[in-house]
Amino acid sequence: MKLNISFILFTCALTVTAVTVQAQQPNQVFKGAGSPVNPKVAMSWNRYNDHAGITDICKKIAAAHPDLCKLESIGKSYQGRDLWCLTISDFKNGGDVSRKPAMYIDGNIHSNEVQGSEFALYTAWYLTESFGDTKYIQELLADKTFYIVPTINPDARDNFFHEANNASSPRSGLIPVDNDRDGAVDEDGYDDLDKDGNIVMMRRKNPNGRWKQDTKDPRKMVQVGPEEKGDYELLGLEGIDNDGDGLVNEDGYTFEYDPNRDWGWGWQPNYIQGGAYKYPFSLPENRAVMEFVMKHPNIAAAQSYHNSGGMILRGPGGQEDVGTYNATDVRIYDVLGKKGEELLPGYRYLVVYKDLYSAYGGELDWFYGGRGVYTFSNELWTSYLMFNKGSDDDDNSGVDPSYQFDRYLLFKDAFVEWHEYNHPQYGKIEIGGFKKNFGRMHPGFLMESDAHRNMSFSIFHCYQTPKLSIDSIAEKDLGDGLKEITAVISNERIIPTHASQDLKFKIERPDYISITGPKVLAGMVVENRDLNITTEQKTNPGTIEVANIPGQGTVTVRWIVQGSGKYTITVDSRKGGILSKTK
């Protein structure tokens, strides 16, 4: 066959152009308030990404914004996938990013709770793409650092996408487990009878069945009344009884260890806390996160993304741990959580043990209890977002909102229509039901809006981490070449440099306030300046150790020095950063 070389070259040129041209010309677009107008990394936030997709996005963001983003792998998953971390900050302004007050964000600790990865990625993308023309973001990244780990369960994330599952499976990772102790590892997953990637429901016609089709939407099955006869029997999840014991799919994921029961605070073994694995941090992914956090004491705030239910959760996870959350810290949590309710319509600020159930060995309890970091777990997606109303606003139509939402807004794309199948054990049956991408996951068109709102809550949280300043420096001549120097250090934000939990267990070192230049004869903390009440630090008086700089508060320190000339006062706080002033 004779080839047309000119046509091939033209086609190649079009292909290269399509691949390399990402952003539109500036004169072709007009900025929508609050959104990047012409991003360097063109993204669609209406779909989900597997681990390869997440890797690609992370690399693109880091390559497009080298002065704002650094990419690293903080460890490997059980199957060897990288746990990517995006460090977002203004690397040219504000000093060492590892010493700025920081916020840690992760998602997808549970394999079927996937959208947290996209929400975390959206945060990284938005911060970098908005930096150029948004003063608030410029000031934020000059002061703060974000550590963003999109997924901490990449193996099971890929399994959820690429293998047959339903909306609730699998929850764990993919470390093989012998569920029934028969010496064989049960890791075969579910039986996808029609090979469509979704594990839905099975039903069989039965004139004495207890189920019938809903008259308002025949796709839905409803149970009949006590004196009614139904048309169907429900046979459970799509699958096969592999060993003849009457149970379908028990050889799939019967025992699922729970990565959110693996953390080293309040941990309990599996016979007490179902889902716990061998010992705290026995899972490589969680251990990698723990080691990263331990190496970054500047982390003062944290956010973990789960699904679903529209909740802003704080600990404690277990009632026995209620005393851990000191009243002072709870007041700070309340300010943050209630602001979250304003920013996230349909979401509720709740306490895990009180409003849900007791859970031990959870991530948010380790972050707070073990590290003194104010931490939330947001349960993403709420049915409120379907029609912007809650269950209390029901129109009494008796119509299931999920079916209505799928019918009128998703055009039945979220439902596998009931269809016949010749089952090897049950004979002629029907298979149908909601797909795995509906029920817990955001429909595509609602993802970006909710990602933005959840990001705004994280930004508010990060903004409230300590912002220190040396408010004033006063000098008093004492005669004989001696001078009294008094400095007032303030914290403009509501989060202190040490949480009450931190102070109780001395998790992090004190804040250091030092003076260099003159000879220091004495150093002290001023408890009451009006009454001149002080507490002297007799050892190493040039560097005063302060237990805490409270939120929206001050500390006052004083030195007696000998000599004249310039001197520098420096504040060095793990969670508050470093600053200095020369006089």
What residues are labeled active site?
379
- The C-alpha atoms of residue 371 and residue 300 are separated, in whole angstroms, by 9
- The C-alpha atoms of residue 437 and residue 423 are separated, in whole angstroms, by 25
Cis bond before residue 304 (omega within 30° of 0):
no
**Burial (Cβ within 10 Å: 0-12, 13-18, ≥19) of residue 367:** buried
Are the C-beta atoms of residues 580 and 475 closer than 8 Å to each other? no
- The C-alpha atoms of residue 502 and residue 547 are separated, in whole angstroms, by 10
- The C-alpha atoms of residue 179 and residue 176 are separated, in whole angstroms, by 9
H-type helices in 28-165, by residue range?
51-64, 115-130, 135-143, 154-162
Alpha carbons within 13 angstroms on the beta-carbon side of residue 209 total 17
Type of residue at 355: D
481-519 burial by CB neighbour count: b if 16+ within 10 A, else e?
A: ebbebbbbbbbebbbbbbbbbbbeeebbebbbbbbebbe
Cα-based angle 206, 208, 213 (whole degrees, multiple of 5) = 65
Please enumerate in sequence order all residues whose Cβ is within 8 A of that of 494, keeping only pairs 6 or more positions apart, or say none: 332, 335, 336, 464, 551, 552
Task: DSSP letter for 97, please.
Answer: G
Reduced to 3 states (helix: H, G, I; strand: E, B; else coil), residue 461 is helix
Helix and strand tally (H, E) in the chain? 13, 23
SS (H, E, C) 324-357: HCCHHHHHHHHHHHHHHHHHCCCCEEEEHHHHHC
**Burial (Cβ within 10 Å: 0-12, 13-18, ≥19) of residue 420:** exposed
Tokens of 439: 């029920």
The DSSP H or E segment spanning 447 is helix 444-463
Please enumerate in sequence order all residues whose Cβ is within 8 A of that of 512, keeping only pairs 6 or more positions apart, or say none: 543, 544, 545, 546, 570, 571, 572, 573
